[in-house]
Amino acid sequence: MNITILGTGQVGATLGKALAAVDHAIMYGSRTPQAARVQTLLADTHPTAQAAGLQTAIDWADLVIIALAADAALTVVPTLNLAGKVVIDATNNIGWENGPVMGVDTSMGELLSASQPDAWWVKCFNTFGIEHVSDPQFSGAKADMLLCGDSAEAKVAASNLCRQLGFNPIHVGGMRYARQLEHLCVLWIQLATQGGLGRDFAFKLVGK
């Protein structure tokens, strides 16, 4: 697929490299696609990786991943045209009050998807440290990737990416469950920091 990633920070770069490694064509959407930092990221991602302005990158894509800083996502996403695209929201909005807390009352997934109702939204890739996208094996098991959204087709597309990356995708339900997935990230950060676990863990459901 042609996959556009909006954002060239740690999340965008890590997802771009991992998805290029499983043979997707990658374009980063950036405010500064010509910047030396972005050109270095292209070289690190794949010889065919590209960068462009946000809307140009969206227009090229079969699937778009939002990997923007939270405040930027809330400001910028409503100004774009995402109609008809499958869009994965990987953002979190985290505050800090003696520990990690949610920075919005509802969820980024609900706010962003409501701002672009003609796109097919999925919440995914937000529940633990993004570095694990490049190695999702934990004690011999695949980490679970919880995802939610209101479009069955979009969830299948996101699940396929998760499987290609080596995760076990789990469909949670509609986009209203983005709240739970984003709270799960708060829990992950709490465990990683004040819980003393560090960043080297992910979530796994176990069945009988």
Ligand X SMILES: NC(=O)c1ccc[n+]([C@@H]2O[C@H](COP(=O)([O-])OP(=O)(O)OC[C@H]3O[C@@H](n4cnc5c(N)ncnc54)[C@H](OP(=O)(O)O)[C@@H]3O)[C@@H](O)[C@H]2O)c1
Point out which residues bind ligand X (CB under 6 A): 7-12, 30-32, 67-70, 72, 76, 90-92, 94, 126, 129-130
Distance of alpha carbon 70 from alpha carbon 151, whole angstroms: 23
To ligand X, the closest distance from the beta carbon of 74 in angstroms equals 10
End-to-end CA distance of the chain: give it in Å, rounded.
Answer: 36
To ligand X, the closest distance from the beta carbon of 90 in angstroms equals 5
- Nearer to ligand X by C-beta: 132 or 155? 132
To ligand X, the closest distance from the beta carbon of 59 in angstroms equals 17
Distance of alpha carbon 133 from alpha carbon 129, whole angstroms: 8
- Nearer to ligand X by C-beta: 4 or 8? 8
Distance of alpha carbon 81 from alpha carbon 174, whole angstroms: 22
Burial class (CB in 10 A: 0-12, 13-18, 19+), 185: buried
To ligand X, the closest distance from the beta carbon of 207 in angstroms equals 26
- Nearer to ligand X by C-beta: 129 or 169? 129
**Which residue number is nearest to ligand X in terms of Cβ?**
9
To ligand X, the closest distance from the beta carbon of 189 in angstroms equals 9
- Nearer to ligand X by C-beta: 157 or 186? 186
Long-range contact set of residues 48-51: C-beta below 8 Å, sequence gap at least 24: 49/16, 49/20, 49/25, 50/26, 51/8, 51/27
Asked if 124 contacts 145 with a C-beta cutoff of 8 angstroms, the reply is: yes
- Nearer to ligand X by C-beta: 10 or 40? 10
